[in-house]
Structures are given as C-alpha cells and as structure tokens.
Amino acid sequence: MNWERIELNWKHYKGNARRHWVKLSEQELEGIAGNRERLVDKIREVYGVSREIAEKQLASWQGAQKENSPFK
C-alpha cells in the first residue's frame, strides 16, 4: 500500500498503528496526522530505537495494511 493512501485515510489506519505501537498515545497519533516522517520520529522517540529500525518497523506495518475499498 502506498503511503499517500494511508495519509489520506489516517483516521482509519491510526487505530491499526495504535495496536501495533502500543506505547504511542491517541493524542500522539492524532498529532502525526498521517505524516510518515512524524511517525518515524515518534517511534524513535518513544521506543528509543534508531531511524533504521523505526523505518523497518514502519515499512513492515505499511506492507501489512489492506486496501479499505469495498469497490475492488
């Protein structure tokens, strides 16, 4: 799934992100508003991991997301 779709539909995907990164608060995810760089930075900050690890986690999560369209 491309990131643009996630960003445009962040209200849907942020729940999945919250379940994946349980240390991120609802307010933090709301503030991220689908911005990929902000999410990477917040994962790094909250989990204390390198940019590389945060990017890998995010890429894995992004790849696991499903299209949210009943018209396929």
Give the chain's domains with CATH numbers: 3-63 (1.10.1470.10)
pLDDT (0 to 100) of residue 37: 97
pLDDT (0 to 100) of residue 68: 55
**Residue 17 confidence (pLDDT) above 90:** yes
Cα distances (angstroms) measured from residue 68 to each of 10, 11, 13, 35? 11, 12, 9, 19
pLDDT (0 to 100) of residue 71: 46
Closest CA to 14 of 1, 26, 3: 26
pLDDT (0 to 100) of residue 46: 97
pTM for the whole thing? Answer: 0.87
- Please state, in angstroms and rounded to a whole number, the distance separating the CA atoms of residues 62 and 71: 21
pLDDT (0 to 100) of residue 69: 53
Closest CA to 47 of 37, 60, 61, 39: 39
